[in-house]
Chain A
Amino acid sequence: MPRTKRTPQAAADSHPDAIFQRLRRARGPDQRALLREQLIMAHMKLVRFLAQKFANRGEPLDDLVQVGTIGLINAIDRFDTDRGIRFATYATPTILGEIKRYFRDRGWAIKVPRKLQEINLKATRAADALVQRLDRAPTVAEIAAQIGETEEETLEAMELGQHYELASLNGEVGSAEDESPSVLGDYVGQRDSETEDFGMRVRLEEAIPKLPERERSVIQLRFYAGMSQTDVAKKMGISQMHVSRLQHKAIQRLKQLVREVAE
């Protein structure tokens, strides 16, 4: 079987810089998608290399590679070839950032905050009740005894518990810069349920494609590409206020869709 030798031209054509140039000039969405695909493939080694650095933290490597790929896609979309830097240099912090954020969200949204938040709530109510009864400020020990938690956890919850308070969905949904898929899950999920609803995450992923186009774009850009409302507004050519309203509507709709499937 003869080995095909790549001509110098072919090699140059498949160089990432060349692909970026063609991506910029590409017209149709199909062509763009194809070129983006090529760019993604060309940089999977980089994603794998970076993901490997986090391999020993208890998360499957495949998941990290997937997360890193999201970062890669963001970098591809945002890369400005005129900047004069190599794409790999540009993409590395974006990919790393996405992976780090994944870890933060994993620990964040699942274990610590909800418990601390709950204890904080119980402690505040208990403190109010105890003040009435004792006619003076209660000690942390007294509050802990009242709510049935250890003194240390009670103190921790009182000091740190309020920091994890999630945005209320009735007012404007946060000007927070850090949105991610798990935060979206928290918005859409039932806040007062005691149990962690793992199935909800899956139903959420399935519900998003069912959103009307503009709402879907907002959700994807905000929570999956991690863009700020202002940037989303620029990208979609609408006002930031409009993005905020679309986001709010989308979340309400997602809540409904997720509930429907569960029932």
Chain B
Amino acid sequence: MSAGHRVELRIPSRAEFVSTARLVVSSVACRLDFGIDAIDDLKLAVGEACTNAIKHSPADSEIIIAYELHPDHLIVEVVDHGRGFDPSARPSVDIDELPQSGLGLMVIEAVMDEVCFQSSPEQGTRVRMVKRRPTK
């Protein structure tokens, strides 16, 4: 069991690296024996968080993704130093008003067990997400 370890990934703030962050979370979650559904959820959440980070940061900056491995849960933190955004914005289902970042947060909250957002224009954004290993 790999619990107690922290894996950190730094990627350029560019679209082509979101898949790298997803790949690493599936590798880490696999180490912790998460089921394939939970792995899919994690990929989705990490993908959304990184997408947001990249959209709100300059292309020459870095996004840091930290994966904290615990015996029965995984914490993923995505940090950027961009311009921040308002996490309280929520989309309506009306087709005429469907903002992008709203959908992403909705997805993260639906598939992760706990989510915490901190965002400001000065310091950027930190998204901390927790997923408990599904009980066997």
Residues of A within 8 A of B (CB): 127, 136-141, 143, 151, 155, 158-159
Contact = CB atoms under 8 A, between A and B. Distances in A.
Contacts, number: 30
A53 B23 CA distance: 33
A141 B33 contact: yes
Given A136-B35, A136-B136, 15 more contacts: A127-B36, A137-B36, A137-B37, A137-B38, A138-B35, A139-B30, A139-B33, A139-B34, A140-B30, A140-B39, A141-B33, A143-B36, A151-B30, A155-B30, A159-B26
- Interface size class of chain B, counting residues whose CB lies under 8 Å from the partner chain: 10 to 19
A162 to B, nearest CB: 13
A159 B35 contact: no
Chain B interface secondary structure, helix, strand, loop or mixed?
Answer: helix
15 contacts: A136-B35, A136-B134, A137-B37, A137-B38, A137-B134, A138-B36, A139-B30, A139-B34, A140-B30, A140-B36, A141-B30, A141-B33, A151-B30, A155-B27, A158-B26
Interface string B77-108: 00000000000000000000000000000000
Contacts of A158: 26, 36
Nearest to B36: A137
Contacts of B37: 137
Given A136-B134, A136-B136, A155 B38 contact: no
A151 B38 CA distance: 17
A139 B36 contact: yes
A155 B136 CA distance: 20
Interface string B101-136: 000000000000000000000000000000000101
A250 B111 CA distance: 48
B128 to A, nearest CB: 24
